[in-house]
A and B are shown apart, each in its own frame.
Chain A
Amino acid sequence: MAAAATESGVSRWQYLDHIRRTRGPFNQDSDVSEEALATLDKTKILVIGAGGLGCEILKNLALSGFKDIHVIDMGTNSYALAPDTIDISNLNRQFLFRKDDVGKFKAEVAAKFVEKRVQGVKITPHNCRIQEFDEDFYMQFQMVVCGLDSIEARRWINATLVNMVDMENQDSLKPLIDGGTEGFKGQTRVVFPTLTPCIECQLDLYTPRAAVPLCTLATIPRQPEHCIEWAHIIAWDQEKPFPSLDKDDPEHITWLYRKALARAQEFGITGVTYSLTQGVVKNIIPAIASTNAIIAASCCNEALKIATTAAPSLGFEESYMMYSGDDSIYTNTFKYEKKEDCAVCGEVAKPLEVNPNWTLRELLDSFSTKADLQLKKPSIRAEGKTLYMQFPPSIEEQTRSNLDKTLKEGLGLDVNHEVAVTDPAFPALTFRFILRFA
């Protein structure tokens, strides 16, 4: 990396090189030989996501001396068929995109921009879903940095990296650095797969947004959001003003807004606006550039520390840094414990409390809101027999009748029976549970 110094004695990477060549009180044992310094040039790093966080991450890695960067951008959720393209609402936060770029692939535009600005860095874009690549693809990188807004994609890459670890082969262990933001808040996490707590171990940190009870929506709304959800869930279904709801169609949103507004007026509730309607219906997470800047910088700082040992990184002791700018600035780092019943990196089945009188359908529905599961399309087996499978259609049909049977009477399940749950979003995972009756 060390570019030749110019006449003035100033070289391009002098600030970074100086830190790397000079041991400090906290990295007394670091190797600061020229050979050790040169390894950064050969480090191949993967960035997942080219949105608000991803743009910042690419810029920061390029200016941290990483030379070989790949970026995957897969779209706003992993079920999306097409890679994400640039939308006008991206322009103000995603500083690598210009008006002319609207409609182009994010990964491509971002890669090209940073390559042009920072001499000597090579950035390879991939416009597809992370699930389209196999282990061989991920094996080529030394590290993965995630800047995603999808929990599902995080869980997928986490499970993949954990499964890839082969104790015989040191290179199979790929540190995962994960950043996330919401409004003025954010977090950075570092996972050394199989060695330190993984994303799945910490899944209960992302509590799915508590759904408002239907009865509140239907009979006792109190907040503008309740009126909007009513229009969205109940009124739309009853009246079907358009064949299907397109959340990007202003006409549809306007219909919902009017319905919600009328309902709000009926109950004397204020605060229903077009913008709020859109926000609730599309579940838009407010985002600002500065929070992305903070979290991305913190992620890349961890990447640099891991790659260079210039200072101790997050991971083995504290592994989670939270940041909140909501009220002044607050940050703290935490140590998490690995969960031995983690579906990804643990060994044992987890106890699951159920009501014996539930139907199988009720049990499966509960998996979507359970903080440590969050499964949308679960299939379930117990004691060697299939209770319900979402795919293929023939099996689905054969097992559908089980959905309305109760767990104990109908299906013969009992305390200490083990059940195995799978979901097409995480093909590599089996969630094992030991039943307990509440």
Chain B
Amino acid sequence: MTEIVMSQTPPILHGPTEKEKKYDRQLRLWAASGQAALEAANILLVNSGAGTVGVETLKNLVLPGKFTIADDAIVNEADLGVNFFLDESCLGKLRSECCTKLLQELNPEVQGEWFPKKEVRKTHLVDQDSCAGILDLRSTLESSSTFTLIMYTHPIKEELLSIIKSYATEHKTPLVAIHSAVDTHPEVEKTTDLRLLNPWPELVEFSREMTKDIDALDDHEHGHLPYVVILLHYLEEWRQSHNGQNPISYNDKTAFSKFVLSKARTNNPEGGEENFQEAATAINKNIKAPELEPGVQEIFNHQVSDEIERRSSFWVIAKAIEAFYNKHGCLPLPGALPDMKAQSTVYVKLQSIYKTKARQDAQEVLETARALPGGKDVDPAEVDLFCKNARFVKLINATPTSENLDAIFDAETMNDEAAEAMKVETDGAFTLPMSNLFIYLALVATSHNIASTADEIMSSITGLIPKAAGSQRVLEASQEVARAAGGELHNISALTGGMVAQEVIKIITKHEKPGSLANLTIRHIHTISPFWLEKAGDVIVGPQTLCGNARLDVRQLLNVA
């Protein structure tokens, strides 16, 4: 979690400022710098359809920043049944204006703006035939200060979308598409990189110095060896008796763990040693074959398409990191050291060894980057951030082909069969998440025409993947999506609005990995009935069943639509 950076000198008798008090609970999640980024943000919502999910998103973001709503719908009775930021007095007025005013009322520090300024015609954006709304959007974009981020909701007219996309390309604005169902980047198991299998000389020396007479240490010293040092020491011994091999396989790890525990002293008053316990626990997470996450591998394999892309700082740094990896066989050290039993001075020293190394690695990456074409002005802070998160960076944009659609469909169908079998076998005690691909497909089919019938949705899906015709889950998904008939349920909109807001916060405060700063498509559940909530929840997610690649492919699929 982001470190909290705040002034070291607090106001002695006044305590925190009013503003710090007001934002206290969130300042604890992201730095004051993140808060500043949120305050400087200027967010555009291009709203359409039933129109609640976008407004719910903004509600969660109402911060001292700026927001603009572009929406030419006129408030009707149905809006009042689903949108909390409208009331009786809004009937017949512009939805953009009414929502802006009631959102703004949440926080007097926020600046809200809306477009169009006048009613264009008394229908929703989607139903409109003329280009009045489109012209508005173009002039909205021109007449406003640069947007930090643009969110748009489906269904959206293709003309509007193309205006948004060209603006985003020109200004490098992250776009967030809000539709329905599910998608973000996959969960990667969180590990701190202690580089136990690939230590650098200073770490090795520090560890050897502490353990050279390990058996002669008194109980106090022995019981306060940090587990990093314990593991480095016994890894050396292990390799000597195992042909120089590290304990990587499950069996070897188990044996190594027993070996380490057998070295703990038990004839002391406590009857055991906590630090050796910690060491044994740390083995599984911290001793790993030096393999790249698929997402990182994909970044390294990515062929940049043109000179502009080649010179973007993201790709320059990615190239520099790849060069680092090829040279050292590992990614730059993130530098964080988890807490572990140790003497204060020893821990602080070890912490500084990790930090120093991380700084050196980042410096090396920075120098490499600066020598690359377009890398002259690369920001050291961006390099730092990239190095800290290098293991998690993923590629989000890619182009799909119909073969991989077929392959995904097969894989996801198999996943569901396995999940079914597991459920039957264990009498429900273990469940595997069901695939959400089918929900995706059904939702994607309604991107531009949300009130489709189940048959229309089915035929749109089978147009892409003919073999989907016989799938029960595709059929059910189509029926369930059609059931909503383009309406929104407030709970689903609120839920989706919460998830989108979380992602937006991560983008703006850069809490999230730099890779996700590329255009991001978030599709969450909002047009569909409640059932999907937990089912889609199951499916979005389980890293057990959807491997990173499959998920990237799903993302590609979305870009088709």
Contacts and interface: CB of A to CB of B under 8 A. Distances in A.
A257 B80 contact: no
A25 B537 contact: no
A57 B18 CA distance: 27
For the side of the interface on A, what is the size category?
A: 35 or more
A262 interface: no
A290 B502 contact: yes
B14 interface: yes
A326 B188 CA distance: 11
B26 A286 contact: yes
A335 B428 contact: yes
A26 B531 contact: yes
A293 B498 contact: yes
A269 interface: yes
A329 B502 contact: yes
A349 B218 CA distance: 45
A140 interface: no
The winner among A13, A269, A325 for most chain B CB atoms within 10 A is A325
Contacts of B184: 328-329
A59 interface: yes
Contacts of B13: 250-251, 254
A396 B63 CA distance: 53
A271 B489 CA distance: 45
A219 to B, nearest CB: 8
Contact of B60 (A6, A290, A301): A290
Interface string B172-212: 00000000000011111010000000000000000000000
B98 to A, nearest CB: 12
Interface in B3-35: 3-8, 10-16, 18, 20-29
Interface in B444-474: none
A267 B344 contact: yes
Contacts of B267: none
B175 to A, nearest CB: 18
Contacts of B502: 184, 288, 290-291, 294, 325, 329
A335 B105 CA distance: 42
Interface in A53-106: 56, 59-60, 63-64, 88-89, 91-93, 95, 98-99
Contacts of A293: 56, 59-60, 494-495, 497-498, 501
A312 to B, nearest CB: 6
A300 B10 CA distance: 41
B550 interface: no
A63 B537 contact: no
Interface string B219-232: 00000100000000
A287 B25 CA distance: 5
A330 interface: yes
A16 B21 contact: no
Contacts of B167: none
A177 interface: no
B348 A300 contact: no
A50 interface: no
Nearest to B490: A63
A332 B433 contact: yes
A238 interface: no
Nearest to A5: B77
Contact of A294 (B50, B190, B495): B495
B557 to A, nearest CB: 18
A328 B348 contact: no
B499 A294 contact: yes
Contacts of B533: 298, 301
A308 to B, nearest CB: 9
A26 B488 CA distance: 18
A10 B531 contact: no
B300 interface: no
A330 B543 CA distance: 9
A296 to B, nearest CB: 7
Contacts of B429: 335, 337
A12 interface: yes
Nearest to A337: B429
Contacts of A250: 10-16
Interface in B463-510: 475-476, 479-480, 483-485, 487-492, 494-495, 497-499, 501-503, 505-506
A332 B50 CA distance: 28
Contacts of A10: 76-78
B498 A297 contact: yes
A48 interface: no
Nearest to B340: A222
Interface stretch (B81-89, B125-133, B233-241, B405-413): B81-89
Given A89-B25, A317-B428, A327-B392, A12 B499 contact: no
Contacts of B490: 16, 60, 63-64
A261 B476 CA distance: 61
B518 interface: no
Given A279-B28, A293-B494, A318 B534 contact: yes
B489 A330 contact: no
B21 A88 contact: yes
A11 interface: yes
Interface string A1-27: 001011010111111101100101111
B368 interface: no
Given A27-B531, A310-B529, A330-B187, A19 B80 contact: no
B431 interface: yes
A332 B106 CA distance: 33
Contacts of A305: 530-531
Contacts of A24: 479-480, 483, 529, 531
B485 A18 contact: yes
The winner among B78, B342, B492 for most chain A CB atoms within 10 A is B78
B530 A304 contact: yes
B228 to A, nearest CB: 13
Contact of A274 (B10, B343, B497, B505): B10
A287 B498 CA distance: 13
B325 interface: no
A56 B60 CA distance: 11
B538 A275 contact: no
Interface of B: 1, 3-8, 10-16, 18, 20-29, 50, 56, 59-63, 76-78, 80-82, 84, 87-88, 105-108, 184-188, 190, 224, 339-345, 347-348, 392, 428-429, 431, 433, 475-476, 479-480, 483-485, 487-492, 494-495, 497-499, 501-503, 505-506, 529-531, 533-534, 537-538, 540-543
Given A286-B29, A294-B498, 16 more contacts: A15-B81, A16-B81, A24-B483, A24-B531, A25-B480, A88-B18, A91-B22, A119-B87, A183-B1, A220-B344, A254-B13, A288-B505, A297-B492, A297-B494, A297-B495, A333-B534
Interface of A: 3, 5-6, 8, 10-16, 18-19, 22, 24-27, 56, 59-60, 63-64, 88-89, 91-93, 95, 98-99, 116-119, 183-184, 216, 220-223, 250-251, 253-254, 257, 261, 267-269, 271, 273-276, 278-279, 284-298, 300-301, 304-305, 310-312, 314, 317-318, 321, 323, 325-335, 337
Q: Which 3 A-B pairs have the closest CB atoms?
A: A250-B15, A15-B487, A293-B498
12 contacts: A11-B77, A22-B483, A25-B475, A89-B24, A118-B84, A254-B13, A273-B5, A289-B26, A293-B60, A294-B498, A323-B537, A333-B538
